[in-house]
Structure 1
Amino acid sequence: MTGTIHGGWDGGEDALALIDAHHHLWDLSDRSYPWLCDKIEPAFFLGDYAAIRRDYLPDDYRRDAAGHRVVATVHCEAEWRRDDPVAETRWVSGVSARHGFPNAIVAHAWLDTPDADEVLAAQAAFPLVRGIRSKPVTSPAPGAMVPGAPGTMQDRRWLDGFARLGVHGLSYDLRVPFWHLAEAAEVARAFPGTPIALNHTGLPLDRSEEGLALWRRGMEALARAPNVHVKVSEFGLPGTAWDYEANRRVVLEAIAIFGIERCMFASNFPVAGLRISYDALVRSMARMLAHLPRADQARFFAGNAADFYRIALPAAA
C-alpha cells in the first residue's frame, strides 16, 4: 500500500503519509450491487457512470494510488443489496485480512426499520467497523422537502434509529445534497455525542453564486456542531471537466468554515475516477494546501482521519 510521491509535492522519502478516508471496493461476480449490475440510476450525480460498472478490487485501487504513500484506507459502504448489508461488511473484512486494507469500515444499516438495532449490533461486532452510512430520504431540489416524511432526518423512527448509533459506539457518515445541510445540522446538535463525517464536502453541485451561497450557509450551520467533521472529497460535476480553480474555491472555503482540525482527505475512488485520476487528485489537493504549515497538511492528509476512524498507525507513518 505504501509508495512515494515523485515530484510536485515534496517527492522522495519526505512525502506526507495519506489516509484515504473514503473509497469503495466491489466484486460484481455475484451481482450484489444493483446499481452497478442491473438498473441504471438515471439521477446519478455525475451522470453517465458506465466506466465504473466493473469490478474494483484491491489491485485496482493499488494501481490507481501507485506512487503515493497511502498508509491506511477507510472503506465506505457501496450500495450492496439492502436485504443483507452485513454481507458486504463480511466481504470487506475478508478483503482486509488478505490484502492489509481497508483499515476501517463504514457499513450500512437502515435506521428506520424494525430490525435497525439488530443490524447495527451485527455491524458493530466486526472489528473494523467504525461507523454507519445510511442515506436519509432527501428531496430532488431545494424547497421540495416534505417535513417529517418517512425516512427523512425529521422522521421520528429515523431519529430513534440514529440514537442507537451511540449505544453501539458508531459514528455516522452523512451524505445528503447541499440543500439538506441545515436540516442535518439540527440532527448533529440533537446528538452531540455521535461523531459525524460529512461526505464529499457537502456536495456543492450548483456552482452558481446562489447555489454556493446556499451550500455555504448549510456548511456554516453544520460547523457550529463540534461533532461534525468533513471529508474534503468529490468535486466532480455532471457533464463538466474537473476544474482546479473552481474546486480550489470549494476546498478552501470548506476548510475555512470547519477548520483544518476537522477536515480530512478522501478520494471517493473509483467514483471520482470518472472525472480525475488518483494521482492528479492528490497533486491538486496538495497544491491547494501548499500554503499551510506542514503539520496542518499532515493532519489533513492523515492525522484527522486516523483520529476520527480510530486507526492505529506505525510511528513511521
Structure 2
Amino acid sequence: MSSTPFPREVVDSHHHFIDTANTTFQSFLRSAAGCDITHLPEDYTRDVIDPLSKLGVRFNSSVHVEAMPDSGIQEVAWVEDMAAAGRCNYVRAYVASCDLTQDNVEEELQNLIQLSPSKLRGIRWILDCVGKYEGGTTATHVATSRHDGIDYLKSDRFKRGTALLEKHNLSFDLQCAPIQLVESAAALFSNYPTMKVCIDHMGKPRMVLGNDFLEDGATINPNVIPNEQELRIWRKGMKSMAALPNVYVKLSMMGYAIPGWIRTNERRAVLKSLVRETVAIFGANRCMVAWNWHVNGAVSDADNLSKVGPDAVELLNTFIWFFEGYSEADKERLFAGTAKEFYRLEESACQLHRNDSQQKRCNWMQ
C-alpha cells in the first residue's frame, strides 16, 4: 500500500441508516433481509467518521441514500427527526426513494421537496434487472421484486417520471446492471441534458473474477483473469454514459465486482485496474468515492457476495493506493469536490428546486 498522505477532507456520497425493528416503513427491507437490521447515526459515527477523524481527515459531510423504504417520505422524515435531535448533523443531502412510474409521482416529489427543501437533492429507485429476481443468483436486485422484475428503464411511465426530476432540479442515482446501461440508460438520459445522473457502485460489473470461494466453500478462488464478456458489456455501457456530460459515477461497493478482493494482493490489483479504468472513462471531475456504509464492512462492500470487506480506514487507504500518481487536484475531486458539486452541498434551499411556486417564495425572500 502507498504511503501517500491522507486527503485533506472527505465527503461520503452514499450511506444508509436502517432500523427495521423500530420503524413502520422498512417492512420490505426486513423481508428482503430475512431478519432485523439496525445501523443508526451513532453506529455510522463510530464506524466511519471517528476512525477517519482520528487520522486527521476532515469529514466534511455525507449524503443519505434511500434504503428501499416502503415510503420515501417517511424515511426522509425519520432522518430529518434524527438530524433535528443532533444525531446526524453531518448529513447534508438526501437521495430519497420515489417510484417514478406511479400515478401521483409529481405530488410525491413536491411533498418530498416540501418536507426537506434544504437537503433533498435527488431520487433513487433501484433498477438492476436482467429478468425475474431469482434469489440473488443473477444481477437482478431484490428491490425489483417489488414490481415483478420489470425493467423500468424501458417503461414509458418511468420516462414520464424522469422528466419531472428535470423539472424540479432533482438528480437521479442510477443503480442498474451493465447490460441496462448499454440497452436503455444512455438513450433515456440523453433526453435530459440538464438533469444530473450518478451511476451507483461503479456500474455494477458482477463477480468478474468469479465467486469469493471455490465450490468446496473452503478454498479461496485463485482466479485473477477477469470475465472479458462481462467487462465488454460494462465498458460499452460506461462509455455510452460517459459521453453524456451530465452523468457521473460513484466508486463504491467494489466487492460486488470482485467479492473478497481484500483477501489477496492479486485481487486487489485487478480491482485497482477497474477503478482506474472507470476514472479514465469519466475523468476525476465526474467520479466520487463512497463508503456505502450500512450493517458492516462486508455487506457495505459486497452486498452479501462475500463475508469479508474493508473497514472505513482500510477502504480509505485502498482508495489512496488506487489513486497513486493522480494530481492533487484530481484526488481532491475524487474524495470531496465531485460530490460537493453533484449534490450541490454548498447551495441554499432557494437555489435547489425550480418549480414556480417555490421560486416565487425564494424571490420574495431575497
TM-score band, normalised by the shorter chain?
0.7 to 0.9
Q: How does 1:43-192 map to 2 (within 5 A)?
A: 53-65=36-48, 66-68=50-52, 69=57, 70-81=59-70, 84-97=71-84, 98=86, 99-125=88-114, 126=116, 127-136=118-127, 138-140=129-131, 152-182=152-182, 183-192=184-193
- The CA distance in 2 between the partners of 1:241 and 1:190, in whole Å, is 38
Query: Which amino acid in the other structure matches residue 195 of structure 1?
Result: K
In the other structure, the counterpart of 1:37 is: 30
- The CA distance in 1 between the partners of 2:269 and 2:161, in whole Å, is 40
In the other structure, the counterpart of 2:306 is: none
1:94 match: secondary structure: helix
Q: CA deviation at 1:151?
A: 5.5
CA RMSD of aligned residues (A): 2.3
- The CA distance in 2 between the partners of 1:181 and 1:61, in whole Å, is 31
**Residue 95 and residue 246 in structure 1: after superposition, are their counterparts in 2 closer, same or farther (change >3 A)?**
farther
Q: CA deviation at 1:206?
A: 3.9
- The CA distance in 2 between the partners of 1:238 and 1:221, in whole Å, is 20
**What is the CA deviation profile of residues 226-266 of structure 1, one whole-angstrom value per residue up to 9, with x for unaligned ones?**
11000111111399312421211110010000011100111
2:47 match: secondary structure: helix
Moved over 4 A (4+): none
Q: CA deviation at 1:37?
A: 2.4
- The CA distance in 1 between the partners of 2:333 and 2:186, in whole Å, is 24
In the other structure, the counterpart of 1:246 is: 270
In the other structure, the counterpart of 1:224 is: 243
- The CA distance in 2 between the partners of 1:39 and 1:237, in whole Å, is 18
Deviates more, 1:115-124 or 1:89-98: 89-98
Q: Which runs of 5+ in 1 are unaligned?
A: 1-6, 42-49, 143-148
**What is the CA deviation profile of residues 152-209 of structure 1, one whole-angstrom value per residue up to 9, with x for unaligned ones?**
2121111001100011110000000111112211112111111001100000114111
Query: Which amino acid in the other structure matches residue 92 of structure 1?
Result: V
Question: When the two structures are aligned, how many residues end up with a matched partner?
Answer: 286
1:308 maps to 2:342: yes
Deviates more, 1:292-301 or 1:233-242: 233-242
**Residue 184 and residue 213 in structure 1: after superposition, are their counterparts in 2 closer, same or farther (change >3 A)?**
same
- The CA distance in 1 between the partners of 2:315 and 2:239, in whole Å, is 25
The question of whether the paired residues in 2 share the 8 Å contact of 1:112 and 1:151 is answered with no
Query: Which amino acid in the other structure matches residue 338 of structure 2?
Result: N
- The CA distance in 2 between the partners of 1:137 and 1:245, in whole Å, is 27
**Residue 192 and residue 293 in structure 1: after superposition, are their counterparts in 2 closer, same or farther (change >3 A)?**
same
Q: CA deviation at 1:136?
A: 3.4
The question of whether the paired residues in 2 share the 8 Å contact of 1:21 and 1:264 is answered with yes
**What is the CA deviation profile of residues 45-101 of structure 1, one whole-angstrom value per residue up to 9, with x for unaligned ones?**
xxxxx7xx53111111111112313210001001111xx220101111222332312
- The CA distance in 1 between the partners of 2:341 and 2:274, in whole Å, is 24
In the other structure, the counterpart of 1:291 is: 325
**Residue 55 and residue 179 in structure 1: after superposition, are their counterparts in 2 closer, same or farther (change >3 A)?**
same
2:345 match: secondary structure: coil
In the other structure, the counterpart of 2:223 is: none
Q: How does 1:15-30 map to 2 (within 5 A)?
A: 15-28=7-20, 29-30=22-23
- The CA distance in 2 between the partners of 1:264 and 1:137, in whole Å, is 21
The question of whether the paired residues in 1 share the 8 Å contact of 2:62 and 2:93 is answered with yes
In the other structure, the counterpart of 1:204 is: 205
The question of whether the paired residues in 1 share the 8 Å contact of 2:130 and 2:151 is answered with no
Query: Which amino acid in the other structure matches residue 32 of structure 1?
Result: F
Q: CA deviation at 1:9?
A: 4.3
The question of whether the paired residues in 2 share the 8 Å contact of 1:31 and 1:37 is answered with no
**Residue 272 and residue 179 in structure 1: after superposition, are their counterparts in 2 closer, same or farther (change >3 A)?**
farther
2:256 match: secondary structure: coil
The question of whether the paired residues in 2 share the 8 Å contact of 1:171 and 1:195 is answered with yes
Query: Which amino acid in the other structure matches residue 90 of structure 1?
Result: A
Question: Larger Rg: 1 or 2?
Answer: 2
